[in-house]
A = this chain, B = another copy of it.
Amino acid sequence: MEYQDLIDACSEEWQAYTEHDFVMQIADGSLDERCFLHYLKQDFLFLKHYARAYALAIYKADNLEDMRRALPTVQVLLETECNHHVEYCKKWGISEAEMEQEDEAFGTVAYTRFVLDSGMSGDLTSLYAALAPCSIGYAAIGKLLLQSDITKLDGNPFRSWLEMYCGEDFQSSVAKGSEHFNSLLADIELNSKKGQRLVETFRTATRMEIAFWQQGFDHVKQEG
């Protein structure tokens, strides 16, 4: 099987995730800034567990090649991405201290711990199946928005977010990771027990991504 089989097996959830209103409102710049700020702060907390998951991939790998493949992602997350988020949030008036004191919202807990538990209880392929909706999904969103009529860059307060995920660096990095994921999936039949378990893992992780977008909206609704 290939990662596209996983997407095809949950096309409804995949669409609800990659074409979520939250994303569309980032694209046309109409998103309530408070939603975006909530998302940013939660995404910072998300990153830590995302890095833990890639460290788990090193632990889970049974050869040096697979270990080395996961290492740069841990490095980028802990060194570049975290600082990037801190810089980015500063522009929006959120200090690093504020971000660290923020409670993890339910959707953040749900998604990150689901990934970690799927990875720990399954094997390396299960871990990557739980991680895939994030990387592959953001790249799909980037591609989608790049071609979409609704996307506006000029005067869009979320422009740098759009430029990052539509950008070549991010796209090519995900393409490389996806190829590796395909090599892990190559031996597995979609209709085998293992294949169906991976579908279920991928589908649930995709549902958790939807919850992650949604909580930005819900947070603001609750605040009134």
**A interface residues with partner B (beta carbon < 8 Å):** 48, 51-52, 55-56, 58-62, 64, 67-68, 71, 74-75, 78-79, 82, 103-104, 106-107, 109-110, 113-114, 116-117, 120-123, 126, 187-189, 192-194, 197, 204, 207-208, 211
Contacts and interface: CB of A to CB of B under 8 A. Distances in A.
Given A117-B116, A121-B62, A104 B187 contact: no
Contacts of A51: 58, 67
State the copy count for this chain.
4
A187 B192 contact: yes
Interface of A is mostly: helix
Q: Considering residues A62, A64, A197, A208, which has the most beta carbons from chain B within 10 angstroms of its beta carbon?
A: A62
Closest 3 CB pairs of A and B: A113-B113, A55-B58, A110-B110
A60 B79 CA distance: 18
A215 to B, nearest CB: 9
A120 B120 contact: yes
Contacts of A126: 123
Contact of A121 (B59, B71, B114): B59
A103 B207 contact: yes
Nearest to A211: B106
26 contacts: A48-B64, A51-B58, A52-B58, A55-B58, A58-B58, A62-B197, A64-B78, A64-B82, A67-B78, A68-B79, A71-B74, A103-B204, A103-B207, A106-B107, A106-B208, A109-B114, A109-B204, A109-B208, A110-B110, A117-B117, A122-B123, A123-B123, A187-B189, A187-B193, A187-B194, A188-B194
